[in-house]
Structure 1
Amino acid sequence: MITDLVNSHLNLDIFHLTNRHDNDECSIVPYANINTMSEPSDEQAAMQHYLVCGTEDCQKNGQFYCNACHQPLCEQCRDEHQKSPNTKNHEIVLYRQRKHQLPVEKCKDHPTRNIDIFCKECQLALCSKCSTMEDHNGHKFDDLEDIYAEKYVLWQGEFSKIQKYFLPTSQDLKTDIEEDATQIKKIMESIRTSMKAKAESLKNLVDEVKSENIEHTHTMEKSLLKKLKSQEKTYDDYIAYLWKMSDEFQEYLSITNQKVLFSKTLKIQPIPETTKPVPPVFTAGQFNKDDVTKLLGKVHVPNTDPEKRKIQPMEPITTHMKSTEIKLEQSKEKSDMKQTLSLSSSVTQVREYSVPGIDNAFHVSVDKSGRIWVSDWKGNVVQTDLQGNQLQKIQTSCPSAGCHTATQDGDLIYTNKYKKVIYRITPDKKITEFIKTGPGDCAPLSVHSSRINGDILVGMRMISEAKVTRYSKAGKEIQNIQRDNQGQELFNYPYYITENINGDICTSDYNKCAVVVVNKSGQHRFSYTGQGSKFCPHGLCTDVLGHILVCDDVSKSVHLLDQDGGFLSFILSPQQGINYPRSVCVDDENNIYMVQHCTNTVTVYKYLQ
């Protein structure tokens, strides 16, 4: 267990840790260490393109680090350091493998002494004088700086796990839940539609049977009445016959016809027999609610165990090596001189070419095939090959700064802030409407396609506020980032936007005169406001080491920052003929592509080795 002293400093420094991606080449610089570096003068800064050696009057690349002196060293100064009798026993490592310096803490009992020893028996942080006291006689002590460095590495690893595994995985699970909720809504609506259709079908059948039965009663009634009408006629005829017979009898009974009375034999016909009708009987159908339910169907949840959501296993995450691992690595490096990717001691121009059809370049993007997209203030967007030959040209009718981005699939995505639409151009030159940021007043200013997961990040400006919205590769809105934990507006005018290897979202905010960086969850990490009294950021990008490169119109240079916003150098400056840097991007070969305002020129530089 480490004391509150160490933990309190680690709690402070953990916010300045760099969450590294796949390679250990990425430098991690706590603010405490950055502040110990000597700040260059304006003249020095203009010439500086790398981390400077800490030796006085030496301006070379400080790619090594003395853990005893806590300062970067160039190769020559390292050799001199190791030869000097005063420093020959100092531990010198690569800068990226350096031991982090223990923050200064004064002893309460001995205010002139720093706390730098840890008593293993008492579990207390002490100064060297405290260790000589009677209370600690015979106790074993550890170097507190070693404990701090190891703890720093441990916490860095945990922080890296949070940023690279736990947060992204949890966000993916949350997205999965949201998709499940959408799917459940669709399924339930489909069930309701089916139930309504089934009920309507049954109702139609009931109406049909009812109509047939009623029609049958009319037919039966008509038949019975017809039969009764016939019987009625039979008796009408018989009654007429009786009246006729009555008249004959009356005639025969007259006195004048008495002879006939004795000679005639009269016989009355019997009364005709008829039958009474048998009336129909209605037998009502027997049914209940369950019968109707059986006919209509019933919705239920299957009696099966729910499937657990798949949580991707965490892959091993590379962190700073422990001291024993560092020594082994040093030994190996001394034997085989293994080269690692790092900043070059100078920036070299690789090539330069003009882009036809472009006037006053604003933005540059590189796709996977190495082809270049450049846009200008008139809304022209031109694609060229590596020699500057035009491959295609489109007119967007809506110029904007960081208005286009190349995707992992080789598509180009670009914005139209007036129509509030984001378009996609496929490699076969087919243009489709991809995302609608309206209705409303959300005008898309900048766009970036993530190299991590293909998400689309869009910087938007509304009437009185701004935000960053994340969309999936399919164009589904996933996340909106607008305010910090105190409810303050994070963005004002997100002119350009990009993403770092740890998932940080970096925006160049024109009105705030700052580079505003938030993490993947939307929490504010830092804002970089330049190295002088004025800072006017334009295009920005990141590289495989987590560096942030941003164009500054005031210093006429490209600033190189570490992953936590610490200034490292002016990587491009007027010394390379830079006048109006407007936009930069980095390709898969770690080359910088830069365009300048008032030109149609793309310049390519090499800066890593």
Structure 2
Amino acid sequence: MDPRYSAQDIIRCDLCEIHVVQSHCELCQVNLCKSCVGEHLSTSTKTHRVVPYKDIALTRKFPKCKMHSKICELFCEKCNIPVCSSCLTSGKHKGHHISDILQKLSTKRKDIEKELKELETIIFPKYEKIALGINTKKSNLETHYRKETAAVIKQGENLNRVIDIIVNKRKSEIDVVKNINLAALNKQENCITKITLEVQQTIVYLKKILQSSDIFAPSKIKSTNVKFRLLPLEVNVSLPIFSPWKISTKQLDQMFGSLSVFSISKEEHGRILDTPNVASSPTAKQLPVLEEPKIISTIYTGNSLHSVACFIDEEIWTSGNGCIMRLYNLHWNLLKSINSKSRNSPGDIAVMRNGALVYTDTNAKTINVVTKKKIEELIRFQGWKPDSVCSTSSGDLLVTMDSDDGENSKVVRYFGSTETQTIQFDDKGHSFYSYGHSKYICENRNMDICVSDYGASAVVVVNQAGKLRFRYTDSNALNFAPRGIATDSQSQILIADCENHCITILNQDGNLLSYINNCDVYLPFGICINSKDNLVLAELSSGVVKIIRYM
């Protein structure tokens, strides 16, 4: 055994199959021993390429034809495959352009070298740069969102502090009222105790007289029962009730704050490939309107009604024809009656955030507030007559009014008695509202100002800045006659359609949602919404107040 080839002794010459391989023909892909090399070179007219066997790994390996088991020395350009000489003689590639396989592979090799150079010098560095940029953006993203998360947490802490302050304030108010009530009851108790003691002493004295042997003793007694029969006035304390403002998740979410619109885009050499994906904030789940609304309470007032207002769910203010404003509870009990200061019929009534009743006096051109002791004039108008009024979430008053000259109508916002905003004309100088007909007003949860304009047979909604959002006219109604208007916790707008004997329900964008046209509704006029999202409805001629659950 030749020690130089001991590691590959099994590899023999392909011709003699005896001697150890020393050479290799690249063209024929055969292994040759030293003695067979000459014979192999002389057996063909081909230009063989014989190399030392130890360099075989560096040599090119020609493909073998699967059909003829020969080395493919040629390449068919049309079929794009390597071919052998037998493939050509078979006629299968007749008329095809045939090239030398080494020449073809050399051209292909140059193409690969160019691609490799582009990958190494241009493409790969760009990907590295992009990857580095992504890491930088990720780092900046983490920093940014840590900052935003901290801002949200801080806002939550601020909100909690405000809530704690409000809670402590309300607790203090309750304690003050409690102490006042308790002092009044204690005073009455002391009075009763004193009188009771006198009665007991009188009883003992009278018994003693009756048991006395002095027959003239009874004649000396003067009756004190007249004094004791007159019982002291009973002290009844009016217990305050805390009425929580119903806060929806959507409302609190809007008050808390929101993320700005964000976008994601893809760019290549500065050119945007994709349109931005704009984030839209999720809307709060809308509570469904009942298919069959139900009357849960009815109050028979016996008076023609124009307006209703409520501060706590158990009590309802009403007004109508006549100068008297009446306060009822849900058991039909009349709790209070108040005459307007001028003895005119109130134009409209509303309850302020502190529970005080306010009303418009169209003829006297005033807005008045009812305190515990008297009626005070809050605003007096010159050249304008107030019509409808509402109290806003910020404590302002919104008032609809018509001019004395019979030409103009507007909405004015007041902080106390100070005018802070006037809403009258659109961008083209046209008046938002008709003149001379009743217009009810309310504020929606999104701060929109909603007015039912009977004269225009429309509901006019503007935003907080006084810009028109939409006008709603009911094409389904034979004669849309909007009167009272109110909004609920879902920012739905409810309108009393007097002549069609129904309540129209819109969403905050003016799209029709539903009607309340059962519950024996007849000539609905004034409406409001209580804290439980129930509709409080006053019928014009029947004088009936109905509380309807519709959600």
TM range (shorter): 0.3 to 0.5
Which structure is higher in RCO with an 8 Å CA cutoff and minimum separation 6? Answer: 1
**TM-score normalised by structure 1 residue count:** 0.42
**TM-score normalised by structure 2 residue count:** 0.47
**Which structure has the larger Rg?**
2
